[in-house]
Amino acid sequence: MAKQKKQVLGRGISALLKDPESGIKMTEGGSLMALIAPALIEVNPFQPRTSFDEGALEELAQSIKQLGIIQPITVRRLENGVFQLVSGERRLRAALRAELKEVPAYIREANDQESLEMALVENIQRQELDPIEIALSYQRLIDEIQLTQENLSKRVGKERSTITNYLRLLKLHPQVQDALKNKSISMGHGRTIMSLERASDQLSLLGEVLSKGLSVRATENRARVLLGASARPSSAQNSSKGMSKKAEAALAQLKELSGKEVSAELRSDGSGILKFPFDSEKDLLKLKKALIGE
């Protein structure tokens, strides 16, 4: 009896899904589920993930050999009986290593834009993406799905400030982004290095973090030193001079929302000018969308 039970469990969800006639059934929510040969599934061109840990893939493959696939992948139907992966590339890769003949999959009806959105949103919810992959996913949703940061916040269940902080990481020097991707530095280190506008300062501080193993707090201290030594005073120093605490808080909020180093010039009568830097016309349009959500 015990041996028979182990064999059933070893087939994973396939044991529940397998239909002697078709191998296809409807789920309670009305979605189509099927057992599909991996050879009929194309990889997802919208996959936000750019790297897969070989050791973790091998562990998952061994688990799948013993227990089967517990959570189905998601695909969409293409022409000529071929399917395209929407989410679950890690499980599909592991299934191929485990030499499975069939994998359980939810079949979703979706066009290219809907497939992109599903792939990005579903993958963002997972813990395996590095900060840069998450930031790029957010940016693609904004650019290609035409979502505002406010709508994106609701769609992925994250605070708008969190999304803004991730997007700002894309302003980092590519070498700093690489360090974030391979986990040589933390998100806290990245956000601190981001306070430095000059690429040379960012690379200098990155070198210190890597060579000396600086904590986030120590990195913040070094960033302040580099900012003080900069030929141009930081916009934060210029903008906060002579401001009330409420005005400083308002300026900080504008920086958070826009992802820019906003500066303010105050006049003696209390009036002034706000300045929002941007790199291109496209950057200006993104700034407008971030601030007014249109």
Q: Which among 13-22, 33-42, 109-118, 125-134 has the top mean pLDDT?
A: 33-42
Task: List the CATH number of the domain containing 40.
Answer: 3.90.1530.30
Contacts of 248 (CB under 8 A, 6+ apart): 240
Over the range 208-224, which residues count as b (16 or more CB within 10 Å of their CB) and which as e?
A: ebeeeebebeebbebbe
Asked if residue 18 is part of any domain, the answer here is: yes
pTM over 0.85: no
Q: How many domains does the chain have?
A: 2
Q: Which stretch of DSSP H or E encloses residue 103?
A: strand 103-108
Asked if residue 1 is part of any domain, the answer here is: no
- The pLDDT, as a whole number, for residue 141 is 80
Asked if residue 243 is part of any domain, the answer here is: no
- The pLDDT, as a whole number, for residue 202 is 92
Q: Which of 88, 110, 132 is the last residue of a domain?
A: 110
Structural domain span for residue 281: 258-289
Asked if residue 247 is part of any domain, the answer here is: no
- Higher local confidence (pLDDT), 35 or 140: 35
Asked if residue 246 is part of any domain, the answer here is: no
Q: 207 by DSSP, 3-state: which? A: helix
pLDDT (mean) for 125-143: 79
| Contact predicate 76/84, CB 8 Å | yes
Within 145-280, residue ranges assigned H as helices are 149-156, 160-168, 174-181, 187-193, 199-212, 216-229, 235-240, 245-258
Q: Which of 110, 138, 173 is the last residue of a domain?
A: 110
Asked if residue 73 is part of any domain, the answer here is: yes
Catalytic residues: 89
Average pLDDT, the chain: 77
Q: 155 by DSSP, 3-state: which? A: helix
Q: Which of 110, 125, 154 is the last residue of a domain?
A: 110
Q: pLDDT band at 186, cuts 50/70/90?
A: very high
Q: For 27-81, how does the pLDDT look when each residue is reduced to its tens digit (9 = 90+)? A: 444 458 888 998 899 887 766 566 677 888 888 889 888 888 888 888 888 877 8
Instruction: Round to whole Å and give the CA distance between 75 and 118.
Output: 10
Instruction: Round to whole Å and give the CA distance between 92 and 290.
Output: 37
Q: Which of 117-121, 196-200, 238-242 has the lowest mean pLDDT?
A: 238-242
Classify residue 45 as exposed, middle or buried by CB count within 10 Å of its CB (0-12, 13-18, 19+): exposed
